[in-house]
Structures are given as C-alpha cells and as structure tokens.
Structure 1
Amino acid sequence: MKKAVYCYARVSSRGQAKDGYGMSRQQEMLRDYVAAYDDSQHNRGYELGNISWLYAEGVSAYSGKNIEDGSVLKTFIDDVLQKKITNSVLVIENLDRFSRAAPNRAAGLFLSLINAGCDIHEVETEMIHHQYSDLNIISGGLQRAHNESKRKARLSIKNWDERIKNTIDGTSVLTHRVPSWIEVKNNKYVLKKGESEKYNLIFKMYADGFGPAAIRDELKKRGMQINEREPTINHLMKIIKDQRLIGRFNSTGRKILDGMSIYPVVVEPELFEAVNDLRKQRNPLGKINVKANNLFAGLCICMNCGRYVQVNSVDKKGDTYFRCGGSLVKIDKCKERGFKYKIVENALLEHLRNFDFSMLRSDDNDIQVKINYLSMELVSNEKYSNEILADLEKEDIPDPNDRRILKNIQRRISEIRNEITILKQSNIGYETFNDLKDSYTDDLLDPKNTKLRLDFNVKVKRVIKNIKMKRYDNTIMLVVSYVGVNEKQAMVINSKTGEVVFMAVQNDDLKSIEYLINND
C-alpha cells in the first residue's frame, strides 16, 4: 500500500525565504528521505508515494504562527481531522520544524494528527511517530525545541541590548544598514556632505505650499539627486514621511527599538511635524501652481460642496475662469457656475491693500498662554528624557522598561514641539498682515511675473486660512477666514464689474448676507 506524502518545509525569517538556502536544503533532505524509505526497517505496512509540498516561508514556530488558523500546517491538520485528506503521512526535518511553541499547545495538534492515522516522519532522527509511539519521546522532543528557541531568543535580546548600550554610549552603531543620506565612519553615524541641503529644501518647499511635482522640478533644476537618482513624486512623498530624517530608528522586528533616536537629525522635528500635519489634512492647503495663474491657489473653496475652486478654463478672449472642481466630475457633481477669475483677484487685492486688520479680534493672549504652558511641559519632558538616558548609560544591559519609557517621552516631546509650531504659526500678529500689504505692487497683476506671484501666494497663505465662494445671479459672495483670528470677512461683489457692493465682519452664520443678496 502506498500513502500520499506531505512534506512540510518551514523557514522562520524573510531573509531565509528570500535567499532560498534554508528552504532548498530542507527540500533536498526530505526528498532524499522519501526516495530512500524502506518500510522493512520500520514495519509500518506501507510505502511512500508522490510528494505534495507544504511551504511556510518567513513564519515563526516559536511564536506559534505556523500552527495558527489559516496557516498551511494547521489547514493540513484540519483537513486530516475532517477526513478531507486520508491515507497520508507528514514528513518533517525535525520536531523544531513542526513547532517551537509551548509544548502543551503544540502537543495537542501533534497527537491529534497521529491519532487520526497520519504518521509523522522525523527525517533527522529517522523516527516515525504514530498513535502507539512513546508519548515521553514526543513531549520531550517538543519541550527541547521550545527550550532551544527560548535560549536563542535570550541570546538575541542580550545581543541587541549590548548593541543598544554601545549605540547610546557612542562606541558603536546599532546596524550598518543605514538611510542613503548617512554613512558609518569610525563606528558612528555621520551625515553625508550636501545631504542636509537637499532634504531641507524638500520640506521647506512643501511647508510653503509647493506640491511634489514642483519640488521635483526644483531639485532637477539645481542638479540635486536623491540616492544618486532623480526623485519621483512617489519617492518624495515617502521622504516626507520618513522619520529617520529626524533621527528615529525604524524597526520592523523589535517594537521597543522603533522610534529610538539614534541617527543624526537632518530636518528639525518642528518642520518635519508641521509638514506632515499639512500632509495629513483631509483638505490640504493646496499646491502652488507653478504657472502662477492664480494668486490665491489652494485657498479657494466652493461654499456649496466644499471642494476646491480652481482656475481651469479659458474663453475665446483669453479670460480665465474660476470653476469648482466638483463641477468637473460625473459622480456627485456640483452645480455651481463658474465666474471670471480676474474680477475676484482684483477685488481681493483691493481689499487686502485697504483693509484695516486691527478691526479683527485675535486670540493672541490665549495662544501665548498655551505656548507658555506647552513650553514648560517640554522642558520637563526633556529633563526627564536626559535623566533616563543617563541611567541607561550606567547600566551594562539597560532595562527594557526604561527604553520603553524613553521612547514614549521622546514621542511626547515631538508632539509638544509640533503643537508649539502650529500655535506660533497661528499667532501671526499684525506685522504679518502688514508684510502682506507691503508686498503688493502693480506688477502682481501680470501673470508673467511668475516668481513675484508665487512669493505672494506663500505670504497670503500665512494670513488667510481659506476663501469660500458662491455665485448668485449677478453677484459673487466671498467669505475670507484668517489664520489665528475668529472673525470672517464677508464680501459681495458684482459678477460683471467686480465692484464691491457689500463688506462686513461676520462672526456668525451667513444667512443675513444671503438675504441681502437675494433681496437686492
């Protein structure tokens, strides 16, 4: 009688799975065993037939993942118990391949398989485990496999602890696998020459409202490459999220190491957090149009649907038009009509030139109180962080709990710095308003003055949060919201002449203004 053979080969690390050595070695060993099997030496009453392979690549047996529901081995065991697979045997290199988890967990599955009539052939010892086998041998083998994994885990942790200590002491590096902007010299992480300028340019441009395409083009113009090649838009977006630029280690293995500060800081944490806060916004400030055909790019929002209003159509006379982005799509289409861009631009510029910003009530005092409170919390956390670092340096093998606390404190320090940056940006003061007013010149009206208009767009975003727009029959309503200010500025302009017919500070709903428009 021949029995179907199921050979189970497992490697626990991704590296072993990738290079194929561990897996191919097992395959060769199991294949040779099946080919050479002689039942006269075991008296099991069967021969071994064709092989079916069960592969588990990059799956840990110590954690028990290889015998969890859905794993290839657990699925095989379930199929045997449910009699979907019959007249079969399982062939493994040794008991370590089956499981390194706690014996009481692994033994139950092992025994259920052999009690269902599926013999387990252990190639390394040339033992065949079946329902009449000595249970002491089986449990002893599973216990040995578990103990060996525990020993290796302890050695690995001790090794990592020693490497962490040396990294903190500055006598060695944690790993030689480093980001492209860093190199290892004399057992220390060193920033490569010229790398800081590249990455700070990326972050500063993004903070000023430039999109990844404009940043890519500027890098190309300056001859700056990232990792010896021209960056793509996707690459730039990954760079913006890469916490290694603020010195943090990225660990996919030991969670306790993830986020530890070990690298040289390339981008200041305040700038990094501010940029990523912009990136995460559901409705970001928008990207500066490198053609500069819209002085208020990224600020204009449709009052009807909440999507961005853009300059995206030109008539036969060459006049550009504002259109809601939602009016250009087929699904959930916005019904707002377009209107001439130049009329709105002229009205807003005239408003910014002549408006007395002191009429607006700012929350400067409240903001400063919050900044002061956060600053005190920052000092306290930084002091605590330094104390823990000092304690870690004194220990031969640092306490994992101390490292966990240190990581949490460093995360909170980063959060506080980000909050302070955001508050400072909102606490702009009237000097910023005046700087915007002073930057106005008649040359701004010429779309060909690209650089001048781009610079103005950056400045206006420091003052104006957004401009909501709505078209009526003969009028256009604009509601301007300012950074760090409660009130909103409501303007109503004639849609044909651009004349401002109504203006007021509006801090509640806009029903009264809409009533005036509809009954004009």
Structure 2
Amino acid sequence: MKKCFVYYRFSSEQQRDGASIVRQKEVLQEYIKRHNVCDGMDDPEVVEILDESLSAFKGLNMSEGRLGKWMDQVRIGMWDGSRLVVESIDRFSRLNPFTVLSYISELVSHKITMIDASNNMWINLANSQLLPIVTMSAQRAYEESVIKSKRIADGWRRRRDSAFNDNGIVTNKTPQWIDVVDNKYVLNDKAEVVRERYLDCVNPVSVHQRLLKFCVRKVMNGNSIDRGEQNQYTRFYVTAE
C-alpha cells in the first residue's frame, strides 16, 4: 500500500522540551502541502514516525526506534511505492555513509522515494544523479557527529582527570543518596536505605525475617495487617535523578 510517511527525530533528552519537534513538524507539513507529496498515494493521510531521544550516529533509531521497525516492514514489502519525508539526511541517519547508502538502496529497491525537504531532493531510481549529493550530505553528517563525539569524550576525560587529581567531583548529577558538599561526594541519610536494599538482594532471607518481625509486632500490638502493608515488602526500588 502506497502511503506518505514523515519522520521526525531528536537525539537527546534535553531536546524533549525544546522546539526541535515543533520546528520539524512545521517545516515538513508545509513542505508536504506545498509540493503535493501525498498525490498519487493510496491513502492521502500523512503517517508520522517519531523517534525521541535516539541517536542516529549510534544507529539507535534503526536498532531500537520506530524507524527501524518501519524499515523491517519495508523489507517485507508492506510499503512499496510509498514516500518518506525527512527534514534532511542526518535526521534519517548519521552512520557511516556506506551504511546510509545501503538503507537508501533498500528503499529504492522497494520503489520508495525518500524526500530530503531541506535540499528538496527526491531520492529514487529515477533521480540517480542525486547520488553524489546524497553521499556528500551523509558524509558531512557523519563527520560532524564523529567530531562532536570526540569532543564530548575529551571533555569527560578532562573532568575525570581533574576530579582524580584534585580529589573533587566529576558531575553535580548524583543519585538521591549522594550529596555534593564543598566539591566532594558525601553520603546522606538515604544511603542506609540503599545499603539495606543491597543486603536484601544479596541475602533474600533477610527480607522474610524483616517481614516476620513486622507482622509479629503488629499482631502483638493488637493491630491487623492489611494487604497494602504486606505488599510494601515485596519489591524494592533504588531511584536516581
């Protein structure tokens, strides 16, 4: 069945509350309308594919995301003759250009046109002259991500080295049982709870012993034990922010 698909993606959790998706939707919806992208499709309604907080450089949108699931459907012939609209090649993938071209080749083999709205490129078998431009776009996106990845890795290395040499901290982001005091990591009163839960995992018998003592104490005090109080001892979670 021929349909018009539009793909949106952002890479990091920090972008969730930003304008990335809003901007992408505005740009692509206007492009689809202006260029009559859905004309000739079996279904005139646009189908949205959204991947949130998934890196295209690491290939997570293909291995874990909705785009990867859609590609699986493409491979079994579900969407032959359809169209996929993206803001640019780098929204689709930032992997090595050879890998990107292999994905595009799969689309072309199923007569699917991928549309790069930023460059107004309709990538299909009839427009093979666009291949050099597509390759250069994929190479540019890949190189940008490689450079960014190296910079981030170098930044974390410097932080770790500085923390080790100065006996300080690497980051202010800590679990709930650790505070930052005078550039030092300090355990707070919640650390004891974490320690107890760890011991419970190492020695499950202690959980039952604690539950037994709790029940005996309640009964001796003449109090009943409701289901909610019993259930609070069945699972333990350690959360971090």
Aligned counterpart, 1:182: 179
Secondary structure at the counterpart of residue 6 of structure 1: strand
Residue 289 of structure 1 aligns to a residue in which SS? helix
Question: Does structure 1 residue 282 correspond to structure 2 residue 204?
Answer: yes
Deviations 1:16-46 (A, max 9, x none): 23x253222212221121122268xxxxx85
Classify 1:74/1:183 alpha carbon distance in 2 versus 1 (closer, same or farther; 3 Å): closer
Counterpart of 1:438 in structure 2 is none
2:228 corresponds to which residue?
none
Contact 2:80 2:110 in 1 (8 A): no
Q: CA deviation at 1:59?
A: 1.4
Paired with 2:122 and 2:201, the residues of 1 have a C-alpha distance of 60
Question: Paired residue for 1:120, among 114, 122, 136?
Answer: 114
| Alignment correspondent of 1:257 | none
Equivalence for 2:71: 77
| In 1, Cα distance between equivalents of 2:33 and 2:171 | 44
Does the Cα contact within 8 Å between 2:87 and 2:116 map onto a contact in 1? Answer: yes
For structure 2, the 5+ residue unaligned runs are 221-241
- SS of equivalent to 2:160: helix
**Equivalent residue for 1:240?**
195
Once the two structures are superposed, residues 404-462 of structure 1 have per-residue CA deviations (whole angstroms, 9 ceiling, x without a partner) of xxxxxxxxxxxxxxxxxxxxxxxxxxxxxxxxxxxxxxxxxxxxxxxxxxxxxxxxxxx
* Cα distance, 1:183–1:124 mapped onto 2, change above 3 Å: same
Shift of 1:157: 0.4
What is the identity, as a one-letter code, of the residue corresponding to 1:182? D
The counterpart of 2:155, out of the listed 141, 156, 159, is 159
Structure 1 residues 89 and 199 mapped into 2: Cα distance closer, same or farther (>3 Å)?
closer
Higher Rg: 1
Letter in 2 for 1:289: K
| Residue 152 (structure 1) shift | 0.7
CA distance in 1, matches of 2:114, 2:72: 15
Deviation at residue 113 of structure 1 after TM alignment:
0.3
Change (3 A) 1:123 1:281: same
Superposed, 1:423-502 pairs within 5 Å as none
Matched, 1:6 2:13: no
Q: Counterpart of 1:51 in structure 2: which amino acid?
A: V
Deviations 1:444-494, CA, capped at 9 Å, x for gaps: xxxxxxxxxxxxxxxxxxxxxxxxxxxxxxxxxxxxxxxxxxxxxxxxxxx
3-state SS of paired residue (1:62): coil
Contact 1:163 1:172 in 2 (8 A): no
User: Aligned runs of 1:72-151 on 2, under 5 Å?
Assistant: 72-132=66-126, 133-134=128-129, 135-151=131-147
Q: Offset at 1:120? A: 0.9
Q: TM-score with structure 2 length normalisation?
A: 0.73
Once the two structures are TM-superposed, the CA of residue 6 in structure 1 deviates from its matched residue by: 0.4
CA contact (8 A) 1:176 1:184 kept: no
1:20–1:114 distance in 2 versus 1, CA, 3 Å: farther
1:239-318 alignment, distance < 5 Å: 239-240=194-195, 276-277=198-199, 279-284=201-206, 286-287=209-210, 289=213
RMSD of Structure 2 on Structure 1 (CA): 3.3
CA 31–158 in structure 1, closer or farther in 2 if over 3 Å, else same = same
**Offset at residue 9 of structure 1 (A):** 0.6
Q: Residues 41-52 of structure 1: matches in 2 within 5 Å?
A: 49-52=44-47
**Which ranges of structure 1 fall in alignment gaps of 5 or more residues?**
40-44, 204-235, 242-274, 294-310, 314-520
Report the CA distance between 1:278 and its aligned residue.
5.0
Contact 1:111 1:131 in 2 (8 A): no
For the residues of structure 2 that align with 1:142 and 1:190, how far apart are their CA atoms? 43
Residues 86 and 292 of structure 1, relative CA distance in 2, 3 Å threshold = closer
Take 1:156 and 1:182, find their aligned partners in 2: how far apart are those partners?
Answer: 25
- Cα gap change, 1:278/1:87 in structure 2, threshold over 3 Å: closer, same or farther? closer
- How far has the Cα of 1:99 moved from its partner? 0.9
In structure 1, the partner of 2:230 is none
Residue 46 of structure 2 aligns to a residue in which SS? strand
Does the aligned pair in 2 maintain the 1:163–1:174 contact within 8 Å? Answer: yes
8 Å contact from structure 2 (residues 74, 80) kept in 1: yes
Q: Tell whether 2:51 aligns with 1:56.
A: yes
For residues 109-168 of structure 1, what are the alpha-carbon distances to aligned partners after superposition, in whole Å with 9 as ceiling and x for unaligned? 111202322111111112111113232222222222211111110011011111112222
In the TM superposition, residue 189 of structure 1 has moved relative to its aligned partner by 2.4
* Partner amino acid, structure 1, of 2:4: V
- Distance 1:277-1:116 versus aligned 2 partners, 3 A rule: same
The code of the aligned residue for 1:157 comes to A
- AA partner of residue 12 (structure 1): S
Say how many residue pairs are matched: 212
Aligned positions of 1:358-397 closer than 5 A: none
